[in-house]
Amino acid sequence: MFGVIVGTLALFIILSIFSGLRTFSDSLLEASDPDIKIIAKEGKKFDYSSEVKRVLEAEEIAAASGVIEERVFIRYKDKQEIAQIKGVDTFYNEVVPIDSSLTVGNWVDYKYQNTAVIGYGIAYKLSMSIYSFGEPLQIFVPKPGKGFVNPASAFRTKNVQLIGIYSGSEEFQNKFVFTDLQLAQELLQYEATQVSAVEVKLKNIEASEAVRSKLQNELGETFVVKTKAELNALYYKVVNTENFISYLIATLVIIIALFNVIGSIIMMIIDKKQNLKTIVNLGGTLQEIKRIFVYQGFLLTLVGMAIGLFFGVIAVLLQQHFGWVKINATLAYPIEFRWLNLLVVIGTIVTLGFSASKIASARINMSFLK
């Protein structure tokens, strides 16, 4: 029974940890990715026309924002880095709450020209802070063309002042340089109505797939509409795979523990051999005798499962509420109680426990009782 208790406890805590990690990762994605993103099927830019805006006035949509994204070369003093500029308009904060991820400084202020917000990872690599007033951050974009390239005039450049630094997932905080949309349009020589994508915030995230299909039909084949899950397909695939593998490993521990249950029942059968013969002589059938040990093993498993779940639920709720186990000084290890995890554990233990009891009771036959 102790083996079943430990196995149940481990399985429930592992599933709860992965639920917490997924929720924590989703919260990071909430501050970096929109619910829906619209891009051109061909080319890097398209006209954010009144027709597109009309389609995005649908009842299901809370807000929409035109953005420009492009890889750029940035330099501060003697240090340089490859990043991605992201020009955003005044509606961007309504679509993605990026300003809540700011660790220092302020978000892009549209009242002032040539300001930027960068990720903590980029700031660390460039040894830059918002108090670096000595030299501006330089953004370089290669000019289009072919043939001989003169290095002195091969790039368009903008000097910007850093006013904020944001944090987030490792990839996110090492990727973007946020500026206002007009600066990005000037740097990339886009027209005033041209953008590289439109990002959308939904009123109900659960309806993202239905809204995606609706927008795709109305916008036509010249656009590609993607949900947040599609934008982060690799991430969700990795998380689901890790969760499944961890579940299999924990289940293997339970299977090993149930071998002890099988052994205990078999030892009980051997120890009670004479009593079983008495039952047969009194008219008991082989199936009735097997049923006795199936019930015994099944109840043994159920009691172990109940005790394991009791301590598991308490441990998860305590960690979720008090955060005693920490990743660092300020961040508690994420964990989350979910009824689905409880049902998965109960289903797994009940199925394996019943199977183990049936295997053990199969040791009984008429030749054994003679």
Q: Which DSSP category does 141 fall into? A: E
Q: Return the closest-CA partner of residue 220 out of 40, 32, 22, 28.
A: 40
Residue 56 lies in a domain: yes
Beta bridge partners of 157: 140
The boundaries of the domain holding residue 59 are 34-229
pLDDT given at position 152: 60
Asked if 198 contacts 52 with a C-beta cutoff of 8 angstroms, the reply is: yes
Mean pLDDT (the chain, rounded): 88
Considering 229, 258, 282, which residue would you say is the last residue of a domain?
229
Question: In terms of domains, do 224 and 242 share one?
Answer: no
Q: Is the pLDDT of residue 134 over 90?
A: no
Q: Is the pLDDT of residue 365 over 80?
A: no
Asked if 258 contacts 353 with a C-beta cutoff of 8 angstroms, the reply is: yes
Q: What is the mean pLDDT of residues 115-128?
A: 92
pLDDT given at position 308: 93
Question: In terms of domains, do 182 and 80 share one?
Answer: yes
pLDDT given at position 47: 92
Question: In terms of domains, do 296 and 164 share one?
Answer: no
Asked if 245 contacts 260 with a C-beta cutoff of 8 angstroms, the reply is: no
Please report which confidence band the pLDDT of residue 309 belongs to, taking 50, 70 and 90 as the band edges.
very high
Question: In terms of domains, do 205 and 275 share one?
Answer: no
Residue 366 lies in a domain: no
- Measure the CA–CA gap between 260 and 240, rounded to whole angstroms: 31
pLDDT given at position 148: 58
Q: Is the pLDDT of residue 234 over 90?
A: no
- Measure the CA–CA gap between 353 and 11, rounded to whole angstroms: 15
> How far is the CA of 315 from the CAs of 123, 203, 311, 324, in angstroms?
39, 35, 6, 10
Residue 248 lies in a domain: yes
Question: In terms of domains, do 247 and 118 share one?
Answer: no
pLDDT given at position 342: 94
Please report which confidence band the pLDDT of residue 274 belongs to, taking 50, 70 and 90 as the band edges.
confident
Residue 63 lies in a domain: yes
Q: Which two tokens stand for residue 175?
A: 């990727």
pLDDT given at position 327: 79
Number of domains in the chain: 2
Tens digits of residue pLDDT in 1-30: 888 898 899 899 999 998 888 888 777 777
- Measure the CA–CA gap between 79 and 126, rounded to whole angstroms: 6
Question: In terms of domains, do 219 and 256 share one?
Answer: no
Considering 187, 214, 229, which residue would you say is the last residue of a domain?
229
Residue 252 lies in a domain: yes
Q: What is the mean pLDDT of residues 265-283?
A: 85
Question: In terms of domains, do 68 and 188 share one?
Answer: yes
